[in-house]
Amino acid sequence: MENMSYWKEVWERKGNGNTKSLEELDGYEDTSADVKEIARQIVKELDIKETDKVLEVACGAGGLAQYIKCGEYVGVDYSSSLVKRHIELLNNSVLHGEANNLIFKDKTFDKVICFGAFHYFPNQEYAKQAISELKRVAKEAIFIGDLPLSSHRDTHLLYDKKDFDGWKVMDGYYNPCRFNVSLKLR
């Protein structure tokens, strides 16, 4: 784990624990988040249909994925231990990779989700690259959730609603210091 960033190391360690709880593996254990309800709201916001091909970037062990019913689900995460757990526990198609460098061709997915990950990114430049990758691989719509306006942790990258000009900006689902955004591409 030499040269690994602080958060990357945290998420790598997370997947090596003994728990089989997807919520715990994905870091929701100390929050008031109702992950099933969050998934329901995202499915509604993006109008995810049972025929849609969906990509979840920063999918973790599948805390959210377990509640997303769609035609085809693909996940990507930079924590190899969480990718392994996700495959073991949900048998989804999940790849190891960074949010700012997706291996997919343009417009591969109908809908693209990234929830609860942007505050772990190393800097704003990385976040811009990730947004442009989400836009590149999506055909119809994108949802980015749980963006922090402020945080009790100085290791969290913060965002401003003004950074999302042209996007639909919504309140966070369980934390008033967070917000969500979505973008329809057609």
Ligand X SMILES: C[S@@+](CC[C@H](N)C(=O)[O-])C[C@H]1O[C@@H](n2cnc3c(N)ncnc32)[C@H](O)[C@@H]1O
Q: Does 173 bind ligand X (CB under 6 A)?
A: no
Candidates 48, 68, 79, 148: give the one binding ligand X (CB under 6 A): 79
Smallest separation (angstroms) from ligand X to the CB of 142: 14
Candidates 52, 73, 85, 98: give the one binding ligand X (CB under 6 A): 98
What is Dmax (Cα atoms) for the chain?
43
The interface region with ligand X, picked from 57-65, 103-111, 158-166, 176-184 by CB under 6 A, is 57-65
140/186 Cα distance (integer angstroms): 6
Q: Does 120 bind ligand X (CB under 6 A)?
A: yes
Considering just the CA atoms, what is the radius of gyration of the chain in Å?
Answer: 15
Candidates 55, 58, 74, 147: give the one binding ligand X (CB under 6 A): 58
Candidates 70, 74, 94, 99: give the one binding ligand X (CB under 6 A): 99
Q: Does 115 bind ligand X (CB under 6 A)?
A: yes
135/129 Cα distance (integer angstroms): 10
The interface region with ligand X, picked from 56-64, 134-142, 149-157, 171-179 by CB under 6 A, is 56-64
1, 9 contact by CB (below 8 A): yes
DSSP letter for 47, please: T
Q: Does 180 bind ligand X (CB under 6 A)?
A: no
Which candidate, 177, 178, 9, places its Cα nearest to that of 81?
9
Q: Does 133 bind ligand X (CB under 6 A)?
A: no
121, 157 contact by CB (below 8 A): yes
85/135 Cα distance (integer angstroms): 28
Residues that bind ligand X (CB under 6 A): 11, 26-27, 58-60, 63-64, 77-79, 82, 98-99, 115-117, 120-121
